Amino acid sequence: MNSWKMLIPLMVLTVIGTGFFLYFNKNSRNIISTVGEYEISSKSISQRDQIINLYNPGNKSSYGEMQLTKYFKMAAIMKKYGQPVTHEILEKEAERIEENTQRPEWLKKIKDMFQGDHNAYLRVFVLPVYVERSLYYDLFVKSKIIQKEPFERVQSFHQQVLSDGTSFVESAKKTEAKIIPLKVSYEDGVQWGDPKEKEPTQNVVDQTKAEQKKWMDKMARSRPSETAEVDRWVKDILTPLKPGMVSARLIDNETSWSVIKLVKKSGQKNTVYQLEAAVFPKLDWGAWIASELDSTE
């Protein structure tokens, strides 16, 4: 019994000592705040401010802490939904940046800011670049967990019209889907919506010679990619369809899913596919990320 009484003060002193060590250790590193597993120090804020000022010369305000807080929250959100930002991922992202940078002289300046501290470079520069792209394109757009409600709606509609394509438009009107015309051909590419409702393209005759050349070069560059896109549509989606049939394949775009029905197929050499598309919007990115950032600590 007496031995327990002697141990209690020692245990209390150990707990107090540990608390003081953690407190002074944290303050010795000038930790300003923490976001999940990430610490934001005065040094990392200064490093982030230097990066900001490189892109915005003359800036006199400090946005480093605000930016790091945002990006570390984004990393925490990715972890929450099953895509943690690991050290290995950041190393691969650093390699990608190195290989694809259009401004190698700027990248060198950024690296020099960290004076050889590679981990700080990964955390303060590479991580923001990675989460800015990947949270949206690799997680939000593709995740069936995040997009659960709208995905279930489009799935329900899809199953219904697959069994009865005649109710395509009527069924779509009962949902939040928007029915739009869709045309696929090698001459015009993949056209969503009515071309007559789109903004008219400036007539080439009204442009200067320099603008004409720029416009023609752009059109020439885009043509191979358009042909490849039409090839993909014809081979993977349209070939099995007969007029009146609904495609068994969902069209997954960045901001929506579409269920398509072939209305008419015309021409032999230059085949034109006329379709109807029921377009179901995905969650709104702006509203979703604002809510997630607000609830992440």
Residue 192: inside a domain: yes
Considering its fold, how many domains does the chain have in total?
Answer: 2
Strands 31-35 and 251-252: unpaired
Residue 49 Cα distances to 4, 36, 54, 59, 286, angstroms: 54, 22, 9, 9, 25
In DSSP terms, 273 is beta-bridged to: 184, 265
The strand pairing partners of 41, in sequence order, are 31
Lowest mean pLDDT among 164-168, 185-189, 290-294: 164-168
The verdict on 132 and 186 lying in the same domain is: no
Name the pLDDT band for 22 (thresholds 50, 70, 90).
Answer: very low
Do 166 and 135 share a structural domain? no
Same domain, 131 and 156: no
Strand pairing report for 256-266 and 272-281? antiparallel
One domain for residues 136 and 152: no
> Residue 2: inside a domain, yes or no?
no
With respect to residue 277, please indicate whether it lies within any of the assigned structural domains.
Answer: yes
Name beta bridge partners: 187: none
Q: What is the pLDDT of residue 86?
A: 97
> pLDDT band at 54, cuts 50/70/90?
very high
171 and 185: one domain? yes
| Closest among 37, 51, 283 to 152, alpha carbons compared | 283
Cβ atoms of 261 and 165 within 8 Å: the answer is yes
Residues 82 and 180 in one domain: no
Q: Is the pTM of this model over 0.85?
A: no
Asked whether residue 256 falls in the same domain as residue 202, the answer is yes
Does residue 193 form part of some domain?
A: yes
166: helix, strand or coil: helix
Containing domain of residue 202, as a range?
148-281
Residue 269 confidence (pLDDT): 78
Residue 120 placed within a domain:
yes
Is 176 within the bounds of a domain?
Answer: yes
Query: 118 and 156 share a domain?
Result: no
Closest CA to 294 of 127, 88, 69: 69
Looking at per-residue confidence, does 254 or 26 come out higher?
Answer: 254
Instruction: Label residue 156 by pLDDT band (50, 70, 90).
Output: very high
Q: Average pLDDT of the chain?
A: 85
pLDDT of 9 reads 54
At 5 the pLDDT is 55
Would you say residue 23 has pLDDT above 80? no
134 and 186 share a domain? Answer: no
User: Is residue 134 situated within a structural domain?
Assistant: yes
* H-state helical runs in the chain: 2-28, 42-55, 64-80, 87-100, 104-113, 118-121, 127-134, 148-163, 168-173, 209-233, 285-295
- Looking at the structure, tell me whether residues 193 and 237 fall in a common domain: yes
Question: Is the domain of 198 the same as that of 228?
Answer: yes
Residue 140 lies in a domain: yes
Based on the fold, state whether residues 60 and 128 are members of the same structural domain.
Answer: yes
